Structure 1
Amino acid sequence: MDTAQFISKSNNNSVEKASFTWQTPSNIALVKYWGKSNPQIPKNASISFTLNNCHTITTIDFEKKRNSDENLKQVQIDKKVDFDLFFEGKQKDAFKPKIAEFFTRIQEYCPYIFDYKMTINSENSFPHSSGIASSASGLSAIAMCLMSLESELNPDLSAEEINKKASFLARLGSGSASRSIEGPMVVWGNHPEIAGSSDLYGVQFPYKLHSVFENYQDAILLVDKGEKQVSSTVGHNLMHEHPYAESRFTQANDNLGKMSEILQNGDIKAFVNLVESEALTLHAMMMTSNPYFILMKPNTLEIINKIWEYRNENDSNICFTLDAGANVHVLYPENEKEKVNHFIENVLSIYCQKNHYIYDSVGLGANKM
């Protein structure tokens, strides 16, 4: 794999002080990836809708260090990036180890990070660690801020190069973060039927989407706003010895080929079937790993059954999907928005924690503030 293309080019530009703010979205996978190898390489390709309302806003203030020669030598020995982290206005040291590990992984590609003291301020529009891919939006926002600095250091970078490298960097922090740079639909993972696809970064779905999938709706029902009992990282690692792992990887890649055709031809009934099957298969992998675990809650199942009832009674194209958590993403075409929103407010909301749900829709990716 050609990673040399992402090593920062030498330049003569100097930036003493800078501040960049990016808003980057979460995303919801339609065909899931579950299982990876180092360094953050997916065992199967995945495809996701980029969201619009569920996002992270991150500001990074960069200040160049005034180091003596002796201090510069010590920085190279320690290989530690100097940063402070604030989440929603409060210093968040608990998050620092994950971000520090991210900086360690990207140091070869962004050596300039050792030259700066960074102050990171981040906030989410949705609950953290509850299965709405907060690491995806969070790490992609940091990656875009870093690339803003790099583009100041190297003005020759094109917008395409910036987005590609940002996706590459974000992936090294969180695999799904590679799918949060662009939109409305992104593929991550090398796949023979997706032109330009790569294990190293996400790419926009390269074919014309059928009109039925334009401005698709996603209502996120917050069944459990607490932190997950089992992290996604732990769950991914359990696929290494999973008895059904290889069959699952083959199935997922086959399903992505089918999904590509569906998205182009507009077969919404096939879309519903495949999206729900993928969601349940993801959780089946969790329930059949060793150790096994269940992230769905009783109200998750109540919602699923109510969706099935509504769909049958109303000849609707509503469907659900799940990420690695208890919350339910309710997907539906824009022409059903009024009726489905009424159903959510009057029937499904009682199964949500404190009746909390978020209306969202397909978005276009990262946005500089």
Structure 2
Amino acid sequence: MMMKKSYEASWECPSNIALVKYWGKKPGQLPMNPSLSFSLKKAQTKTSVRIEPASRRKVEFLFEGKTSFFTERVEKYLAAMSLEHDWLNNYAFYIESENTFPHSTGIASSASAYGALALCLVDLKQQVTEKKFTTQQFFQKASRWARLGSGSACRSVFSSFALWGRLEGFPNSTDCNAIPVTEKFHPAYQSLRDAVLLVDSSKKQVSSSAGHEMMNEHDFKDVRIAQANSHLRQLLEVMKTGDHQRFFQLIEKEALSLHALMMTSDPSFILLQPNSLAVIAKIRAFRQQTGLAVGFTIDAGPNIHLIYFEQDKQMVHQFIEGELLSLTENGDWLDDCIGNGPRKLNG
């Protein structure tokens, strides 16, 4: 392969919110159970990568114009990737990245970060090798490469809904990468919104990586795998029929199951805060009082994601401002919605 010049690639990639949760992983950053998510619209990472020929691989990484602790993670990621993709050893990498959303807001920045970086790397591979991938090949590779950095990142490279993990009876599903879900869902689900209620922005006492590791010897490991598969199949069906009541029952059970697994790990740990539970109680009371199709999900942290539909935006915002913000840290919340996936940026 002839090295002749520098190359550049710039991509914007969203974060995503899981409805069926990924918790626990097998060697090779493969999931113990399948998961389903939808990509967000506003919560994006923008990443630009320039590579220049070099005698050995080196990395310079700037996050929002400053050096970052993430540099070491990127170096380890590229080193691991280079074992299979030797061309990565022949370049110096100059990476600049920024988020459209603040840190510690309950939105997974590693998903959007590794998604954006993987998209840039696949783009660069096309340029270096002068081999053009089909659209399907391009995003499949990006999903696979993103997974090696952060498991949930593999779902971020697709618009709307993405499924990651082998699901029996679902064609093309695999543990190696996510796939876009093109089921004929009820049109209401294309108007989903996600209001992130920031209960506590402090660093988690147990990282997600450590939590995943604890699933290896968890008492409920096999039951959880069966549960996630069952929930996923049920969710895909109710989203076709538009059974909103069952939809919210399933995603809330998934969220609470995730935290139940943490509370029954060995050692056990609790990430929910008293105000997390207070927000959940108010959401359920609001749903019962109004009859609106609203509910919640939670990632591996204390912050609550209020899931609702576009048509109910005004009433939901009034509810948030009137009853929930007093339970959040500094009255902070972010409002987002289902998105159109990643986008190539002009250099």
What is the TM-score when the length of structure 2 is the normalising length?
0.96
Are 2:259 and 1:270 equivalent residues in the alignment?
no
Are 2:39 and 1:40 equivalent residues in the alignment?
no
Equivalent positions of 1:64-213 (< 5 A) are 64-65=53-54, 67=55, 75=56, 81-92=57-68, 94-153=69-128, 154-213=130-189
Aligned partner of 1:286 in structure 2 is 262
Q: Deviations over 1:69-106 (max 9, x none)?
A: xxxxxx4xxxxx410111121111x2233222221332
Contact 2:3–2:53 at 8 Å: present in 1 too?
no
Distance (whole Å) between structure 1 residues aligned to residue 107 and residue 283 of structure 2? 20
For residue 238 of structure 1, give the secondary structure of its aligned residue in structure 2: helix
Q: Which runs of 5+ in 2 are unaligned?
A: none
Contact 1:40–1:171 at 8 Å: present in 2 too?
yes
Aligned partner of 1:215 in structure 2 is 191
Letter of the 1:178 counterpart: C
Q: Deviations over 1:134-189 (max 9, x none)?
A: 11111111101111111112332112111000000000111000000001000000
1:351 positional shift: 1.5
1:201 positional shift: 0.4
Q: Out of 52, 55, 63, which is 1:63 matched to?
A: 52
For residue 196 of structure 1, give the secondary structure of its aligned residue in structure 2: coil
Contact 2:7–2:51 at 8 Å: present in 1 too?
yes
> Which stretch shifts more, 12-21 or 329-338?
12-21
Aligned partner of 1:233 in structure 2 is 209
Aligned partner of 1:316 in structure 2 is 292
Contact 1:127–1:225 at 8 Å: present in 2 too?
no
When the two chains are superposed, the root-mean-square deviation of aligned CA atoms in Å is 1.4
1:315 to 1:15, Cα distance in 2 relative to 1, 3 A: farther
Distance (whole Å) between structure 2 residues aligned to residue 200 and residue 128 of structure 1? 28
Contact 1:13–1:152 at 8 Å: present in 2 too?
no
For residue 148 of structure 1, give the secondary structure of its aligned residue in structure 2: helix
For residue 217 of structure 2, give the secondary structure of its aligned residue in structure 1: coil
For residue 240 of structure 1, give the secondary structure of its aligned residue in structure 2: helix
Q: Deviations over 1:317-349 (max 9, x none)?
A: 110000011111110111111111111122111
Contact 1:299–1:351 at 8 Å: present in 2 too?
yes
> Which stretch shifts more, 256-265 or 280-289?
256-265
Letter of the 1:107 counterpart: S
1:365 to 1:19, Cα distance in 2 relative to 1, 3 A: same
Contact 1:63–1:117 at 8 Å: present in 2 too?
yes
Distance (whole Å) between structure 1 residues aligned to residue 331 and residue 22 of structure 2? 30
Contact 2:7–2:127 at 8 Å: present in 1 too?
no
Q: Which runs of 5+ in 1 are unaligned?
A: 1-11, 68-74, 76-80
Are 2:17 and 1:28 equivalent residues in the alignment?
yes
For residue 216 of structure 2, give the secondary structure of its aligned residue in structure 1: coil
Letter of the 1:317 counterpart: A
> What is the number of equivalent residue pairs in this alignment?
344
Distance (whole Å) between structure 2 residues aligned to residue 218 and residue 156 of structure 1? 36
Distance (whole Å) between structure 2 residues aligned to residue 226 and residue 119 of structure 1? 30
- Work out the percentage of aligned pairs sharing the same amino acid: 39
Are 2:8 and 1:19 equivalent residues in the alignment?
yes
Distance (whole Å) between structure 1 residues aligned to residue 12 and residue 272 of structure 2? 29
Contact 2:51–2:91 at 8 Å: present in 1 too?
yes
Distance (whole Å) between structure 2 residues aligned to residue 107 and residue 186 of structure 1? 27
Distance (whole Å) between structure 2 residues aligned to residue 156 and residue 21 of structure 1? 17
Letter of the 2:19 counterpart: L
